[in-house]
Amino acid sequence: MDSHRPDLNLLITLEVLLAEQNVTKAAARLHLSQPAVSAQLSRLREMFDDPLLVPAQRGMTPTAKGLELLEPLRQALDQVRATVASHRSFDPATARLTVAISCTDYLQAAVVKPLVVALRARAPGVRVALLNLDPARLEAQMVRGDVDLALMTPQVAPPSLRARHLFDERYVLIGRRNHPRLRGGLTVEEYARLEHVIVSPGGGDFSTPVDNALAALGHRRNVVLSAASFLFVPELVAQSDFVALVPERLVHDCADKLRLMDCPFPVEGFAVGMVWHERSHGHSGHRWIRETLVSLIGARSHERTEPPLKGQRKQVASGGHRGRRGRGH
Report the CATH number that the domain containing residue 246 is assigned in CATH. 3.40.190.10
CB atoms within 10 A of CB 127: 13
315 part of a folded domain = no
Q: What is the pLDDT of residue 306?
A: 36
Q: What is the pLDDT of residue 218?
A: 93
> Quick one: 25 and 108 in the same domain?
no
> Quick one: 150 and 74 in the same domain?
no
Q: Are 23 and 60 in contact (CB under 8 A)?
A: yes
Q: What is the pLDDT of residue 22?
A: 92
Q: Which domain holds residue 217?
A: 171-265
> Quick one: 152 and 287 in the same domain?
yes
Q: Are 304 and 260 in contact (CB under 8 A)?
A: no
255 part of a folded domain = yes
51 part of a folded domain = yes
Cα 182 from Cα 192, distance rounded (Å): 12
Q: H/E/C letters for each residue in 214-282?
A: HHHCCCCCEEEEEECCCCCHHHHHHCCCEEEEEEHHHHCCCCCCEEEECCCCCCCCEEEEEEECHHHCC
Q: Are 37 and 60 in contact (CB under 8 A)?
A: no
Q: What is the pLDDT of residue 106?
A: 93
Low-confidence ranges of the chain (pLDDT < 70): 1-6, 85-88, 202-203, 300-327
Q: What is the pLDDT of residue 39?
A: 94
> Quick one: 188 and 257 in the same domain?
yes
319 part of a folded domain = no
162 part of a folded domain = yes
328 part of a folded domain = no
Provide the 8-state DSSP code for 108. Answer: I
Give the C-alpha distances (Å, rounded to integers) separating 281 from 200, 287, 288, 313.
Answer: 35, 7, 11, 33
Q: What is the pLDDT of residue 321?
A: 44
Q: What is the pLDDT of residue 301?
A: 60
Cα 103 from Cα 112, distance rounded (Å): 9
289 part of a folded domain = yes
Q: Are 150 and 274 in contact (CB under 8 A)?
A: yes
CA dihedral sign, ordered 292, 293, 296, 298: negative
285 part of a folded domain = yes
How many domains in the chain? 3
- Residue 275 is which amino acid? V
Does an H or E element contain 99, and which? Answer: strand 97-103
